[in-house]
Amino acid sequence: MTINMEKQVAANDQADQVINKPRERVVVVAPGRGCYNKDELGYLQRFHSDKQAFIAAIDQYREELKQTGIAKIDGAAKYSFKQHTPGENASALIYACSVCDFMDIDTERFEVVAVTGNSMGWYIAMACAGALDADAAIDVINTMGSMMQDGLIGGQLIYPEVDAQWRRDSEISSLIDRTIETICAEEGCELFTSIYLGGYRVLAGNEAGLKRAEEMLPQVDERYPMRLYNHGAFHSPLLEQVSEKGFASLGEFLFSKPQIPLIDGEGRIWTPYGADCSKLREYTLGEQVTKPYDFSKAVQVAVKEFAPDKIIVLGPGNTLGGPTAQALIDINWFDWTSKGKFSAAQQISPQMLAMGNEEQRSLCKIK
Cα–Cα separations (whole angstroms), residue 86 to 70, 152, 191? 13, 10, 22
Same-domain check for residues 201 and 283: no
pLDDT for position 82: 87
Domain end, chosen from 187, 212, 233, is at 233
Within a domain: residue 2?
Answer: no
- The Cα 206–Cα 189 span in angstroms is 7
The verdict on 280 and 349 lying in the same domain is: yes
Whether pLDDT at 350 is above 80 = yes
184, 322: one domain: no
pLDDT at 2: 47
Are 36 and 114 members of one domain?
yes
What's the total number of domains in the chain? 2
Query: What is the structure's pLDDT at 16?
Result: 46
DSSP state, residue 291: S
Q: Is 11 part of any domain?
A: no
Tell me, yes or no, whether 326 lies in a domain: yes
**Is 280 within the bounds of a domain?**
yes
Q: How far apart are CA 347 and CA 263, in angstroms?
A: 29
CATH code, domain with 93? 3.40.366.10
Using CA atoms, how far apart are residues 62 and 139, in angstroms rounded to an integer?
Answer: 10
Q: Do residue 316 and residue 200 come from a single domain?
A: no
46-80 residue pLDDT tens = 999 999 999 999 999 999 999 999 999 999 999 99
**318 located within any domain:** yes
C-alpha–C-alpha distance, residues 103 and 34, integer Å: 22
How many Cα atoms are found within 13 Å in the side-chain-facing hemisphere of 52? 2
- Choose one of 233, 257, 276: the last residue of a domain: 233
Say what the alpha-carbon torsion angle 199, 205, 208, 214 is, to the nearest 10 degrees.
10
CATH no. for residue 194?
Answer: 3.30.70
The answer, yes or no, to whether the previous bond of 316 is cis (omega within 30 of 0) is yes
Identify whether residues 287 and 337 lie together within a single domain. Answer: yes
309 assigned to some structural domain? yes
Share of the chain above pLDDT 90, in %: 88
Kindly state whether residues 221 and 255 are assigned to the same domain.
Answer: no
Q: In whole angstroms, how far apart are CA 256 and each of 74, 141, 264, 271, 281?
A: 30, 15, 15, 11, 9
pLDDT tens-digit profile of 172-216? 999 999 999 999 999 999 999 999 999 999 999 999 999 999 999
Where does residue 57 rank: exposed (0-12), middle (13-18), buried (19+ CB within 10 A)?
middle
Domain's final residue, options 233, 249, 282 = 233
Q: Name the helix (H) or strand (E) containing 348.
A: helix 339-348
Cβ of 1: how many Cβ atoms within 10 Å?
A: 15
Same domain, 95 and 207: no
Helix (H) or strand (E) holding 294: strand 293-294
Chain centroid offset of residue 275 CA: 21
Domain span at residue 203 reads 155-233
Rounded Cα–Cα distance for residues 306 and 141 (Å)? 27
Q: Same structural domain for residues 350 and 293?
A: yes
C-alpha triplet 359, 362, 364: angle, nearest 5°: 120
140 and 201 in a single domain? The answer is: no
Q: What is the pLDDT of residue 260?
A: 98
pTM to 2 decimal places: 0.94
Asked whether the predicted pLDDT for residue 85 surpasses 70, the reply is: yes
Cα dihedral sign, 151-154-160-161: negative
Question: Are 289 and 303 contained in the same domain?
Answer: yes
* Residue 6 confidence (pLDDT) above 70: no
Do residue 213 and residue 244 come from a single domain?
A: no
